[in-house]
Structures are given as C-alpha cells and as structure tokens.
Structure 1
Amino acid sequence: MDTLNLEPLGTLPDANGAVLVELLHNPARKLLYVRWFGNLTGREVIYVARESLKLQTTMHFALVLNDKTNATGDWVEAMEWLEYEWLPQIMTGGLRAIAYVFSPDMHNQLASMEFFERVRQYIPIQMFHDRPSAWQWLQRQPPMRSTLAPAPQV
C-alpha cells in the first residue's frame, strides 16, 4: 500500500473508544482508503458511512478502497440505509468505483456479499482477497466525467 502515497485523514472510534476505522487518502488519485477494525455492527457501519459523506462534500473522492481485512461481525441491518441513503449521496458527490477487500470472518463475508449484490447495479464494485489486486482494479476504472449528466427524460 506504500505505493499509493496515502496521507492520513484520521481515525474514528467505536463505542468503547477503540479504533473502528482508519481513513487515508491520495488526493491526486481521488482515492479514499477505509481500513476497518474490530467486530462491526450495523450502527457502526452507518456511523462511518455518514462520516464518509461529510468527507465527500469537500474531497470529492472518485475511488474507495474498502478494506475489511481486520474486521469481523455481521452488519447486515445497515443494508437498506446504505443502498437507499448513502449510495445515492456518495455517487452524486463523485464516487465512481469501489474495490472491496474481504474479511476472513464468515459473518462479515456474508454481509459483504449482500452489500456487493445491492451496490453492483448502481456502480462498479469488485470483491478481492488482497489489497494490491483491489488497487490494480481501481486503477483500471474509466476516468471520471467532469460533470454529472442529468437523468434521461422518459
């Protein structure tokens, strides 16, 4: 990951004060790298997603590398909110692709697969078992459009 030239944005704590996520970015590539830790719940996932929306208003990142390598837990109760609230807002802010690195935890993998199935109809997303492959895939995504095109009139 050193080749990404990531700059720290900070961390977000869980309810007990432990690090829940570490946020890093590469401004030149408009990349947000989200590294998760601990046993995740739907509430925590929504909390981090809300914080990412705040970042999007100023940073306008186009790529997300979502790394759940160090996370466990079932956060499936966050799915409706992520699909119908978070995703439209983050895409309006410029997000164009998500690379998703699996957790080794089976419960987390099941929630991740549900997220993948819901999101892939709206935006390019791919699942990976390692960060280098995820980053290579993100780099191959087409360039971002300069403006958001209005929805076609029917």
Structure 2
Amino acid sequence: MGQQVLYETPQISIRYDDYAEWLHVEWIGDQDYESVVSGATKMLEYLEQQGCRKVLNDNTLVTSMWADAAEWGGKEWFPAMRAAGCEYFAWVYSSNVYSRLSTDLTIQYTAAGIVILTFDDINIARLWLQQM
C-alpha cells in the first residue's frame, strides 16, 4: 500500500493512499482558525486533484481547541468537499477533550450530504472506510 505525500507542514500532512483510493490527512499539534482553514483548503484542492470520494481524517495528535473554525467547516467547507466528490469521511478523534468538542461542533453545523462517522481508533476508521 503506497502513500504519496501531497502536502506537509508542521501542523498537517496530506497523503494519497493509492491502494485504498482515499486522502489520509493527519493533523498535528495546536490548531486554530487559520491553520484549520489553510489545511482544509489544501484537503479540498487535493481531493479534487486526486478525484477520490473518501477521506481518513486523523486528529489523534491534535492538542487544542479549534472551535472558532467549526461553523466555517460545517457550513462552507463540507459543502465544497461534497461538491468536489467527497462521499465518506472517517474522522478520528483526538484524546484532547476540547478538540473532540470542536469536531462535534463542526459536524453539528454540517448538512452537506457526506457520510461522516467519528472514531476513537484509526484502525476501526480504516476498516469502515474500506467497506464504503
């Protein structure tokens, strides 16, 4: 299973998994409005470029609250992701309670038609996404 690195900064890594045909996105450390918007915009760009329908979004290493970006994510970004072809979104929670709350808030703002499931375990998230 080969993963091609598409974009990488200290706060985010975006890879394309050739075998599974999904974006694998790993968020790292403290996140805020600017880093979330910047990283999510790159995700949208690479989703379109790769023509994939699935995202494995891993927040395991996120260490902060980023709720100020939740409304933007739910109301603007997720609809743009859906329009670009995203159908399934596996979201792996951080153990940081404030990051988890930010994730849940984003999902509450979302009515984009993407199937979004949250997970505590990345391996379970992978299994679910493989079945979609």
TM norm. shorter chain > 0.5: yes
Look up the equivalent residue of 1:111 and give its one-letter code. Answer: S
Task: State the TM-score, normalizing by the size of structure 1.
Answer: 0.78
Gaps of 5+ in 1: 13-18, 142-154
Q: Distance in 1 between matches of 2:100 and 2:27?
A: 13
Aligned length: 132
Q: Is the 8 A contact 2:78 2:112 kept in 1?
A: no
Q: Is the 8 A contact 1:62 1:94 kept in 2?
A: yes
Q: Percent identity?
A: 26
Residues 1:140 and 2:131 are matched in the alignment: yes
Residues 1:21 and 2:12 are matched in the alignment: yes
Q: Distance in 2 between matches of 1:53 and 1:118?
A: 18
In structure 2, the partner of 1:90 is 81
Q: Distance in 2 between matches of 1:54 and 1:27?
A: 17
Q: Is the 8 A contact 2:91 2:119 kept in 1?
A: yes
Q: Is the 8 A contact 1:119 1:125 kept in 2?
A: no
1:10 to 4, 7, 10: 7
In structure 2, the partner of 1:144 is none
How big is the shift at 1:83?
A: 1.9
Q: Distance in 2 between matches of 1:102 and 1:120?
A: 20
Residues 1:129 and 2:129 are matched in the alignment: no
Q: How do 1:18-57 and structure 2 match up within 5 A?
A: 19-57=10-48
Gaps of 5+ in 2: none
Task: State the TM-score, normalizing by the size of structure 2.
Answer: 0.90
How big is the shift at 1:121?
A: 6.2
Q: Distance in 2 between matches of 1:83 and 1:138?
A: 21
After superposition, the Cα gap between the structure-2 partners of 1:98 and 1:118, relative to the gap in structure 1 and judged at 3 Å, is same
Task: Out of 124-133 and 54-63, give the one that drifted further.
Answer: 54-63
